[in-house]
Each structure stands twice: as C-alpha cells, then as structure tokens.
Structure 1
C-alpha cells in the first residue's frame, strides 16, 4: 500500500491574530451545536440560543460575535488577549477544516505586512 503524504502547511495559526474569527458569518451545523452543548453541559436548544444567531438561507445558524479590539467584532469564543479559541476541542466543523489548502491567505498577508512595516507585532485592523 502506498504512503499518503499530507501537504506541508505554510502557516502558523498561533502567530496570527485570528482573522478567520472575524468573519461575520461563521456557519454552524446541528452537529456543531450538539458538540458545543456537550462541551458546556447545556441542552442543544440552550446552546443554539446562547451561542448562535440567525444567519441566512445558506447558513441558517452562525456563531455570535463580541467586540474585538482589532476588528469590529469576532467570534464569541475567541480569547481577546491570547487570540486563541476557548472551545478548541468543541469548535465548529468550518473552524476544524480552515484553511482548506496548505496556505492561508490571511497568514501570508500578515507576514508580508509585518515585513513591510518592519514591525513583528503589526496588525491590520478594521477599527
């Protein structure tokens, strides 16, 4: 049986400020909501009400947002100090799958801008 090799990742999420968490629509599935309910030991209905809101016809339920210093808002589960996910083990499928390629456009942008600005802490913000 031939070996299957995974493509090498060319990004480091821990060095990013979580641009992907600032998407206005972070879709959730019924399975995602069940996973969050289990994580917080609440009912599925309560998890849906507390952690999601109505999205649109393509993404009926999306994660709620809270204020963010870098972006106008970001996922409610993003720790605003560490910029890490507070529900990593229970995060939605879209977060588990992102990015879907070996490169992340946000990370490439961040690396480029930090180099151009000659500032390793520089962050492009929307505020």
Structure 2
C-alpha cells in the first residue's frame, strides 16, 4: 500500500543522494542521514558503510516530516560545483581546484525525482 511505497521512495532517495555525492575520501557521501521530525545535527568520521535509516524508520511515514541532512561543511559547495578541496578527484580550474564530479548538482535533481515519485502514488 501507500505507506510501504512512500518508505521505498524515501530510502531509494537516500541511496541515490549518497551514491551521487562526489567522492574524494568518502566522508561526504557517508554523512547523509534521513531523520524524522528534525534534521540530524551531527556527522560521522566513517568513510564507508551505511547510515541505514531503514531499521529506525517509523511504522508509518504518511504525514511525517522526513529530512535528508548532510552537515559536512563543504556539502553546499559540492552541490553547487564550487568545492575547492585538493584531492585525487579534483581538477585545476579557473580560480582554484574544484570537484568536477557533480558540477550541476545531484541533490536538487534527486529531490525533484522523489517529489515526482510521491505525486505518482
């Protein structure tokens, strides 16, 4: 039914956002959290693994506020193609070294996909 389909959409969205995160060391990709009622306030130092929300997901997500959160200080720069970090997957560009893995963003695109999937239920 509807609740099960909503859960699947939210979890798939979390996976897609995490997988789409530009990776240098992996910390940004592993710092995506899906929480209920309020954004997650912390980070993890893990560079791999899974911050699975599945076992903590409420029985019903209908009418609940769920939040995708990443508190890495450079996550917005990655989303908007402005990250000036230095690492094996960054490139020299005008004015510095930038990640070129997701220059057009990936979170905004996935949120639109999630919204469309929910509207089609």
The answer to whether TM tops 0.5 is no
- The TM-score normalised by the length of structure 2 is 0.28
- The TM-score normalised by the length of structure 1 is 0.27
